[in-house]
């Protein structure tokens, strides 16, 4: 079975490369955000998928953190699909998303552990915005009990030159 790359698959290829990143995360409400640096290596798998492997130090000086991102496009569902795992938690994040009309912003919906209520799940969305060929921004949001999206992570990526 051979699948021809769609324009959505080609969009994902813009993420391929070596990246540095600065992470800003609100760990506790009312506290200033915590910042740290990291890197990500993104490669293509057959022109249909991308695989991103991230590395960083945890902000509290804990052990290094690693993550793996997979993203692809399912032409039958007409949706972006993927996963994210990190060495700092046992949850498998499963993505389902869509690209905006301008082809600059990919919004990925998912579900994961509720940071405000232990043992419960919450709705999340990760938003990848292409600022240029060499810069992208990821923001993570959790749906609060009041029905509003609360942004808690911003990651600024810059392509290594």
Per-residue pLDDT, 161? 82
Q: Note the pLDDT of residue 56.
A: 93
pLDDT digits (tens, 9 = 90+) for 55-104: 998 776 667 999 999 999 999 999 999 999 999 899 999 999 999 999 99
pLDDT above 70 (res 10): yes
Within a 10 A sphere around the Cβ of 73, how many other Cβ atoms? Answer: 25
Q: Is the dihedral of CA 131, 133, 134, 140 positive or negative?
A: positive
Span 107-145, pLDDT tens digits: 999 999 998 788 899 999 999 999 999 999 999 999 998
Question: Quick one: 61 exposed, middle or buried, by C-beta within 10 A (0-12, 13-18, 19+)?
Answer: exposed
The pLDDT score that the predictor gives to residue 68 is 98
With a cut of 90, say whether residue 28 has pLDDT above it: no
Domains, the chain, ranges and CATH? Answer: 7-159 (2.40.128.20)
């Amino acid at each position: 079975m051979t699948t021809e790359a769609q324009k959505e698959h080609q969009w994902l290829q813009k993420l391929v490369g070596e990246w540095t990143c600065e992470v800003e995360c609100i760990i506790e409400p009312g506290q200033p955000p915590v910042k740290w640096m990291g890197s990500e290596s993104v490669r293509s798998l057959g022109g249909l998928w991308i695989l991103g492997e991230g590395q960083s130090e945890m902000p509290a000086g804990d052990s290094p953190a690693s993550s793996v991102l997979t993203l692809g496009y399912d032409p039958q569902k007409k949706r972006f699909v993927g996963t994210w795992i990190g060495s700092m938690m046992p949850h498998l994040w499963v993505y389902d998303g869509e690209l905006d009309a301008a082809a600059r912003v990919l919004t990925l919906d998912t579900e994961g552990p509720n940071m405000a209520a232990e043992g419960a799940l919450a709705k999340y969305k990760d938003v990848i915005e292409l600022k240029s060929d060499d810069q992208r921004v990821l923001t993570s949001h959790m749906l609060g009990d009041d029905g509003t999206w609360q942004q808690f992570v911003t990651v600024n990526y810059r392509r290594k030159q």
